Amino acid sequence: MKSYQNLVLLQNLYRLKAIGFEYIDHFNINEKTSYATPISLKELSSNIDSCYLCDLSKSRTQSMSGYGNEKANLLIVDYSVSQSQDSTNSYYSGRAGETLKNMIEKVLQLDITDIFLTHCIKCKPLSTNKPSPSEFNSCKGYLFSQIDFIKPKVIITLGEEAYSHLSGDTGNFENVRGHVIAFNDSKLIPIYHPSFLLRNPESKKTTLNDLNTIKSCL
Please report the domains of the chain, with CATH numbers, ordered by start residue: 55-217 (3.40.470.10)
| Whether residue 41 has pLDDT greater than 50 | yes
Provide the pLDDT confidence category of residue 1 given band limits of 50, 70 and 90.
very low
pLDDT tens for 160-213 read 999 999 999 989 999 999 999 999 999 999 999 999 999 999 999 999 999 999
Provide the pLDDT confidence category of residue 61 given band limits of 50, 70 and 90.
confident
**Residues, the chain:** 218
Task: Give the pTM.
Answer: 0.81
Q: How far is CA 157 from the centre of its chain?
A: 9
Tell me the CA distances in angstroms from 112 to 100, 121, 156, 161, one per residue in order: 10, 20, 14, 23
